[in-house]
């Protein structure tokens, strides 16, 4: 069997039904094999960055490994932002790139780039396949590494002669890598220590991050939170890991988190963090972060623990398994539910005071549509039953604040890298992976222009994605920083030429609608949500609206700017 065919066979063996890619000379053999099969569907994008983000959105929304395919040189370098985005958020992805023939490697051949070199720091692992004999094993390893442990993107670079060479296709069912053994099972002693802290706590907070989503631990999170009567807060990546409409939810933590979540964490005496990595957007000034708390930290990646904050009870293990063990322990020897109800009563009273003092809010304005209102309405109309992708900037933060994510894998957002242009191609992947579901991209007028070419891809596939542009006519988040910290010197945040997004939609054969008044919001949302086609809804919002609360970068999380 030829190498190119092995690639396609491996995709089948791994259960890959759809891949996202763009052809070129160095992958033409693989495309020839794709032509011959119906089992692997190929989505032709318009830019390789779109392929990588679509594979990523597919992975985030389904939990399966997303696959992207690109040619050598510029094809490969175009995927770089997409790979880095997936890497920062620990998303399982396999990226296949073509490479010049092995004998030309290092010669500055046409369309040659040292792809494994370029992507080394932004992949969980990568491979350059030099011999066709190695191909089945490497492909197996790539999928295995991508989806196990702390997931991440894996790149396989495939020289053209390897694709053309013939070899035995002996695809391993299982693979053991002696140097790669992620720890799933937590240390029971540590689980006991964690419980002892929680039992004696007076002001506990439960912090959940993206690890809860990727390990599928949201049931356990909920059970534990309810059993122990814990207030729950989430990082951006953790949203949906615990129902946003639950009484015990404090919403998001950090720079644009809620006042009450930040206050609760700052005043906590025990912080149980699961699958979160204490990114600077969450901690603010590190030495002022949860200063009196003993921290219990569960994470599958030992490097996340003790990296940014000092942890008292480190637990290395899969989030789901670790919470299962903790629950087992509590059921066997823990105090009854009533104990925690009573024990944390004063703490909840205090949290409720904070909640009442500064709930998430915004000022209404008769002249403008408020973006927060749009998101509240969208939540009301969808009841959390939609997959919401976001771009980056204010649109992303308003979404995180005002849409209550009830289920895991319903928020698809670039958290770690903050990649503008991610949301729309990711929504293509999400819709491909969830054909019956409502998929919405909340966009900014800046971000949407970064991968707007993918409208053609979405139309090709007849995807009924709804793009809602919160159009403030600004690179709003940067403008907000300039307003607050640079005395309103609005440098390079206003485009001179702004395209007519309605006409753009129409040019691609989609539907475009613009609204400018608050009363139009609800009926128009209703209208587009019931339509079975791609719609761009251009919502002209108040141009200088801010995202609040805000913890200025490098400040303590209690030093919030409130409105």
Partner 1 sequence: MSERKCTLSVLVENTPGTLARVAGLFSGRGFNIDSLCVAETLDPTLSHLTLVTRGDDQIIEQIIKQLRRLVDVYKVVDVTEEGDYVEREMALIKVRAEKENREEIFRICEIFRLKIVDVTPRTYVIEVTGDKNKLEAVIELLQPIGIKEIVRTGTIAMKREKKNA
Ligand X SMILES: Cc1ncc(C[n+]2csc(CCOP(=O)(O)OP(=O)(O)O)c2C)c(N)n1
Task: Give me the residues that bind Mg ion (CB under 5 A), please.
Answer: 444-446, 472, 474, 476
128 binds partner 1 (CB under 8 A): yes
- Choosing from 17, 64, 111, 307, which is the catalytic residue? 111
The answer to whether 322 and 298 are in contact (CB under 8 A) is yes
176 binds partner 1 (CB under 8 A): no
Q: What is d(CA 390, CA 427) in angstroms, rounded to the nearest whole number?
A: 9
Q: For partner 1, give the closer residue by CB, 128 or 198.
A: 128
Q: Is 46 helix (H, G, I), strand (E, B) or coil?
A: coil
The only residue of 36, 178, 356, 489 in contact with partner 1, by rule CB under 8 A? 178
Q: What is d(CA 256, CA 453) in angstroms, rounded to the nearest whole number?
A: 31
Instruction: Kindly state the smallest distance separating residue 116's Cβ from partner 1, in Å.
Output: 6
Q: Which does 117 bind (CB under 5 to 8 A by kind): ligand X, Mg ion, partner 1, none?
A: partner 1
- From 364, 262, 376, 274, select the one nearest 322 (Cα to Cα): 274
| Number of other CB atoms surrounding residue 288 within 10 Å | 14
Give the binding-site size for partner 1 (rule: CB under 8 A). Answer: 18
Maximum CA pair distance of the chain? 72
124 binds partner 1 (CB under 8 A): yes
Q: For ligand X, give the closer residue by CB, 209 or 476.
A: 476
Token pair, residue 381, equals: 């109309």
The only residue of 35, 38, 179, 356 in contact with partner 1, by rule CB under 8 A? 179
106 binds partner 1 (CB under 8 A): no
Is 255 part of the annotated catalytic residue set? no
- From 390, 403, 555, 405, select the one nearest 477 (Cα to Cα): 390
Long-range Cβ contact pairs of 338-346 (< 8 A, separation 24 or more): 340/227, 340/228, 340/229, 340/230, 341/229, 343/201, 343/202, 343/229, 344/201, 344/202, 344/203, 344/204, 344/229, 344/230, 346/202
Give the residue carrying structure tokens 């933060």.
397
Q: What is d(CA 511, CA 533) in angstroms, rounded to the nearest whole number?
A: 8
177 binds partner 1 (CB under 8 A): yes
- Choosing from 12, 39, 103, 110, which is the catalytic residue? 110
Give the residue carrying structure tokens 């594979």.
55
* φ/ψ (deg, to 5) at 426: -65, -35
Instruction: Kindly state the smallest distance separating residue 296's Cβ from ligand X, in Å.
Output: 32
- Choosing from 48, 391, 454, 545, which is the catalytic residue? 48
Q: What is d(CA 455, CA 560) in angstroms, rounded to the nearest whole number?
A: 39
Taking CB under 8 A as the criterion, which residues in 432-491 touch partner 1? none
Instruction: Kindly state the smallest distance separating residue 112's Cβ from partner 1, in Å.
Output: 16
- From 190, 278, 259, 194, select the one nearest 230 (Cα to Cα): 194
Is 477 part of the annotated catalytic residue set? yes
Residues near ligand X (CB under 6 A) are 391-395, 418-421, 444-447, 470, 472, 474-478
Q: What is d(CA 561, CA 31) in angstroms, rounded to the nearest whole number?
A: 53
Is 160 part of the annotated catalytic residue set? yes
Instruction: Kindly state the smallest distance separating residue 487's Cβ from ligand X, in Å.
Output: 19
Q: Which does 301 bind (CB under 5 to 8 A by kind): ligand X, partner 1, Mg ion, none?
A: partner 1
The answer to whether 557 and 407 are in contact (CB under 8 A) is no
Taking CB under 8 A as the criterion, which residues in 486-505 touch partner 1? none
Q: For partner 1, give the closer residue by CB, 322 or 427.
A: 322
Instruction: Kindly state the smallest distance separating residue 462's Cβ from Mg ion, in Å.
Output: 29
Q: For ligand X, give the closer residue by CB, 132 or 392.
A: 392
Is 202 part of the annotated catalytic residue set? no
Q: For ligand X, give the closer residue by CB, 286 or 478.
A: 478
Instruction: Kindly state the smallest distance separating residue 416's Cβ from ligand X, in Å.
Output: 11
Is 110 part of the annotated catalytic residue set? yes
What residues line the site for partner 1 (CB under 8 A)? 116-117, 120-121, 124-126, 128, 145, 177-180, 301-303, 306-307
Catalytic residues: 48, 110-111, 160, 477
């Amino acid at each position: 069997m030829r190498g190119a065919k092995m690639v396609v066979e491996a995709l089948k063996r791994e259960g890959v039904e759809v891949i996202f890619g763009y052809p070129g000379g160095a992958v033409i053999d693989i495309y020839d094999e794709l032509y011959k099969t119906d089992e692997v569907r190929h989505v032709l994008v318009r830019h390789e960055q779109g392929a990588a983000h679509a594979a990523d959105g597919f992975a985030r929304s389904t939990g399966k490994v997303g696959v992207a395919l690109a040619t050598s040189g510029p094809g490969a370098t175009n995927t770089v932002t997409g790979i880095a985005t997936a890497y920062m958020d620990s998303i399982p992805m396999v990226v296949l790139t073509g490479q010049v023939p092995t004998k030309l490697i290092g010669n500055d051949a046409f369309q040659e780039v040292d792809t494994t070199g370029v992507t080394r720091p932004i992949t969980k692992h990568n491979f350059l396949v030099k011999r066709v004999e190695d191909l089945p094993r490497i492909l197996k390893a790539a999928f295995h590494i991508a989806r196990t442990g702390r997931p991440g993107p894996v790149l396989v670079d495939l020289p053209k002669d390897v694709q053309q060479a013939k070899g035995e296709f002996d695809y391993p069912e299982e693979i053991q890598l002696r140097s790669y053994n992620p720890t799933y099972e937590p240390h029971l002693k540590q689980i006991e220590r964690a419980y002892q802290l929680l039992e004696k706590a007076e002001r506990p907070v439960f912090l959940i991050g993206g690890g809860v989503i990727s390990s599928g631990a949201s049931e356990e999170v909920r059970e534990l939170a309810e059993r122990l009567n814990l207030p729950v807060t989430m990082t951006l990546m953790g949203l949906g890991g615990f129902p946003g409409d639950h009484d015990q939810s404090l919403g998001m933590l950090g720079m644009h988190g809620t006042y009450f979540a930040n206050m609760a964490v700052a005043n906590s005496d025990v912080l149980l963090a699961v699958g979160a990595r204490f990114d600077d957007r969450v901690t603010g000034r590190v030495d002022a972060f949860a200063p009196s708390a003993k921290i219990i930290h569960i994470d599958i990646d030992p490097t996340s623990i003790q990296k940014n904050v000092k942890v008292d009870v480190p637990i290395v293990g899969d989030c789901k398994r670790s919470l299962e063990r903790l629950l087992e322990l509590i059921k066997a020897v823990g105090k009854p539910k009533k104990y925690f109800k009573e024990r944390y009563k004063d703490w909840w009273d205090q949290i409720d005071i904070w909640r009442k003092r500064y709930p998430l809010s915004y000022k209404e304005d008769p002249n403008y549509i408020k973006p927060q209102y749009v998101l509240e309405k969208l939540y009301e109309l969808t009841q959390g039953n939609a997959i919401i992708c976001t771009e980056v900037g204010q649109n992303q933060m308003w979404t995180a604040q005002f849409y209550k994510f009830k289920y895991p894998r319903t928020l698809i957002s670039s958290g770690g890298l903050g990649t503008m242009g991610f949301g729309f191609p990711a929504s293509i992947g999400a819709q491909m992976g969830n054909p019956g579901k409502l998929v919405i991209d909340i966009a900014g007028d800046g971000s949407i222009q970064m991968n707007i070419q993918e409208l053609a891809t979405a139309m090709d596939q007849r995807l009924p994605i709804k793009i809602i542009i919160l159009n403030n006519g600004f690179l709003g988040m940067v403008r907000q920083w300039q307003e607050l910290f640079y005395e309103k010197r609005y440098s390079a945040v206003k485009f001179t030429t702004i395209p007519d997004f309605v006409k753009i939609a129409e040019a691609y054969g989609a539907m475009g609608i613009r609204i400018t008044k608050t009363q139009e919001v609800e009926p128009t949302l209703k209208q587009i949500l019931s339509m079975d086609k791609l719609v761009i809804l251009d919502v002209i919002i108040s141009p200088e609206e801010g995202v609040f609360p805000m913890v200025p970068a490098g400040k303590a999380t209690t030093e919030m700017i409130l409105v």
